[in-house]
Amino acid sequence: MIHVDDVSVKYILGDIKELSLKEFFIRKMRRETITQEFLALNHITFHVNKGELLGIIGSNGSGKSTILKVLSGIMPPSTGFVSIHGSIAPILELSAGFDGEMTVKENIFLRGALLGYTKAFISERYEEIISFSELSGFEDVAFRKLSSGMKSKLAFALASFVTPDVLILDEVLSVGDIAFRKKSEQRMRELFDSGVTTILVSHSMSQIREMCTSVLWLEAGRMRGIGGTKELCDDYEQYMKTK
């Protein structure tokens, strides 16, 4: 289903975000280096079978989000290959694409489009999305006027209607108040049980232990281990204690 074959990713680093053309030429003339390279992923190989749920664990900066970006097709690997069969729904950030100035209704269509839904699909499910996110009566309110809880509920509700073959999640499992959290966890479980293949990044070890069929442990861009959930989670927790 998902094959990741010897994938490495080189990041471009340096103080390049505020670089001006003037500065660029000055540094070029002085023969100063402008960018540095950083190996964010170092020869990663694994595969996931249909219906499996792979959890990715590792400390901050270990390359977890990078591997998800590679799988989603947002970031091309510098070397190596990724092959995925079927449709992919990458949900790396629930709020990506929401626009504060636009109304809730307009945002549902914009964000829905970015999530890969068709117009007909959203129109059909519109009422359901509104009621699931508990936002009836707020449809014509500008998105920025919602409370942060309401925003994340809407974002979750919208994303939870995906029906892909492969689901890619970055720490987006539970949001909102206790009641909503219960509802959202229920929704996620239904989704996982539908036979979707999932790759999931999480810092919550209890979530990983409970749901994942296997685990990949990344550390500093390298594979520290792949295999059974229990053994790797135990090892990882031990490692984090001694760190």
* Calpha distance 192→208 (Å, rounded): 13
Residue numbers 122-181 binding another protein by CB under 8 A: none
Size of the site for another protein (CB under 8 A): 34
Binding of another protein by 226 (CB under 8 A): no
What sign does the dihedral 99-69-170-88 (CA atoms) show? positive
The minimum distance between CB 78 and another protein, in angstroms, equals 10
Binding of another protein by 63 (CB under 8 A): no
Q: What is the DSSP string of 25-92?
A: HHHHHTT----EEEEEEEEEEEEE-TT-EEEEE-STTSSHHHHHHHHHTSS--SEEEEEE-S-EEEES
Cβ contacts of 203 within 8 Å, gap of 6 or more: 57, 171
Of 66-74, 209-217, 220-228, 235-243, the segment contacting another protein by CB under 8 A is 66-74
The minimum distance between CB 85 and another protein, in angstroms, equals 11
Binding of another protein by 26 (CB under 8 A): no
Residue numbers 105-124 binding another protein by CB under 8 A: 106, 109-110, 113-114, 116, 118-119
Cα dihedral 19/22/25/27 (nearest 10) = -60
Q: Which chain residues interact with another protein by CB under 8 A?
A: 11-13, 16-22, 24, 69, 72-76, 88, 90, 92-93, 96-97, 99, 101-102, 106, 109-110, 113-114, 116, 118-119
